[in-house]
Amino acid sequence: MLDALQGAFHDGLGYLAISYCLAAIGLNVQFGYAGLLNFGQAAFLSIGGYMMGAAIATGGWPTLAAMALAIGCSVVLALILGIPTLRLRADYLAIVTIAVAEVLRLTFGTSFRKYFHGKDGVTGFTDGFRSLNPFDYEGTVLTFSANDMWILIVGWIVVALTLVLVWLLMRSPWGRLLRAIREDEVAVRSLGKNAYSYKMQALILGGVIGCFGGFIGALGQASVQADLFNLDFAFIAFTMLILGGAGRVLSPVVGAVIFWAALSFIGSILTDLSAQSGISSFMDANQASNVRLMLVGLTLMLLMIFRPQGIFGDRKEIALDAR
């Protein structure tokens, strides 16, 4: 039990949680505020991880320059996704983003092996980042090794700064315009606002935030592999966002932490149970990891039934939809 709690703590704060958390913050800007259905957030994270990793490992670029390249690439990706679809109905963006995320995953996983190394993925790009690590200890502190601790501190600082930026933006007339577009784009255009341009800005901002998630994930893992960015990614990120309550600044963070902690906790409990029951056939590790996803799914269904607005949402807002 203690192990399970410790594992939950570790995974709830770890670099994967941070990475997903940034992905969900980006989604919150796109979906929660502007109403854009982006099912390809994984594409932005893979661009972040792969471009940074390959530029450092193969190109020998300094870390910051590699990050700048990746950010530039994610802006270009947002433009490519947005230019043909944002003038159309919302569903077109959803379709295109799913497809593009898959195309990118397959491209990174199988092509340009000189840079992306196929299934093995990109490695050997963390030296620059780790050389700045002020922590220097053996073993673990609070379950985290020195390298983990460093990515943790940097990661959560990035999350905090991003949240402040999102909060500042969303209380401004810019944010009001995004929310208005989510409600009714035609009305916004009738008031002389260029809805298309604002949707594009939201898509780019959300994508760049996702790109940072890619950095943290890659630096924490010390490798980038295409498999991580499969279709599940989009749904997990959406789950986190809706768990917290879309359109609230803090919800992606809380959603991501709870999701990872719960996943880890349920996983360890299941493993323990099957170990203690003495019957090895009760559930093996693979089955346990699938069952925990089922239980998470069940929890989410219950949440949607009894608290559809998420943790931070406003019930009154949801009620308006029924009118």
Partner 1 sequence: MPAETPTATTRISADDARKALVGLATEPGVSKPDPIVVVDGVRRTFGGLTAVDVDHVEIQRGVITALIGPNGAGKTTFFNLLTGFDQPDQGDWSFNGTSLKGVGAFKVARMGMVRTFQLTKVLSKLSVLENMRLGSTGQLGERFWAGPLKFLWRGQEETNTERARDLLARFKLDKKEHDYAGSLSGGQRKLLEMARALMVSPELVMLDEPMAGVNPALKQSLLGHVKSLREEGMTVLFVEHDMDMVRDISDWVIVMAQGQVIAEGPPDSIMSDQRVVDAYLGAHHDTDISELEEVVVVGREGSSGDAADESAVPRKDGPA
Residue placing its CB nearer to partner 1 in the complex, 194 or 277: 194
Applying CB under 8 A, the span of 53-61, 163-171, 209-217, 232-240 interacting with partner 1 comes to 163-171
The residue among 4 and 311 lying less far from partner 1, judged by its C-beta, is: 311
Q: Is residue 240 a contact residue for partner 1 (CB under 8 A)?
A: no
Residues near 228 by Cβ (< 8 Å), separated by ≥ 6?
46, 217
Contact criterion met (CB below 8 Å) for 51 and 180: no
130 near partner 1 (CB under 8 A): no
Question: What is d(CA 289, CA 74) in angstroms, rounded to the nearest whole number?
Answer: 32
Q: Would you state the structure tokens that stand for residue 268, as one six-digit string?
A: 């360890």
The answer to whether 38 and 206 have CB atoms below 8 angstroms apart is yes
Q: Please give the biggest Cα pair distance in the chain.
A: 69
| Site size toward partner 1, by CB under 8 A | 32
Nearer to partner 1 by Cβ, of 208 and 283: the residue is 208
Which of 6, 9, 179, 291 forms a contact with partner 1 (CB under 8 A)?
A: 179
State the minimum distance, in angstroms, from the CB of residue 169 to partner 1.
5
For the purposes of burial, counting CB atoms within 10 Å of the CB of 100, is it exposed (0-12), middle (13-18) or buried (19 or more)?
A: middle
Q: Does 192 bind partner 1 (CB under 8 A)?
A: yes
State the nearest-atom distance from the C-beta of 200 to partner 1, in Å.
10
- Say whether residue 183 binds partner 1 (CB under 8 A): yes
Question: Is 190 a binder of partner 1 (CB under 8 A)?
Answer: yes
Q: For residue 67, what is the enclosing H or E element?
A: helix 63-85
- We find the least distance from the C-beta atom of residue 196 to partner 1, in angstroms, to be 8
Can residue 127 be called a binding residue for partner 1 (CB under 8 A)? no
Binding residue (CB under 8 A) for partner 1 from 141, 168, 298, 301: 168
Q: For residue 21, which phi and psi values (nearest 5 degrees)?
A: -60, -45
Using CB under 8 A, pick the residue from 193, 295, 303, 308 that binds partner 1. Answer: 193
Decide: helix, strand or coil at residue 123: strand
Q: Residue 111, interface with partner 1 (CB under 8 A)?
A: no
Query: Could you tell me the CA-to-CA distances from 47 to 77, 167, 270 in Å, in that order?
Result: 9, 25, 35
- Residue of the chain from 186, 280, 281, 305 that contacts partner 1 (CB under 8 A): 186
Residue in 88, 142, 161, 189 binding partner 1, rule: CB under 8 A: 189
DSSP 224: E
From CA 78, how far away is CA 270, in angstroms rounded?
Answer: 41
Distance CA 253, CA 259 (A): 10
| DSSP assignment of 161-209 | HHHHHHHHHHTSHHHHHHHHHHH-HHHHHHTT--HHHHHHHHHHHHHHH
Question: Which residue is it, tokens 């990614």?
Answer: 233
Site stretch for partner 1 (CB under 8 A), options 50-58, 150-158, 181-189, 212-220: 181-189
**Which residue in 110, 140, 194, 230 binds partner 1 (CB under 8 A)?**
194
The residue from 89, 114, 315, 316 that contacts partner 1 (CB under 8 A) is: 316
The span of 100-108, 149-157, 166-174, 217-225 binding partner 1 (CB under 8 A) equals: 166-174
- The contact set with partner 1 (CB under 8 A) reads 165, 168-169, 171-177, 179-180, 182-184, 186-195, 201, 205, 316-317, 320-321, 323
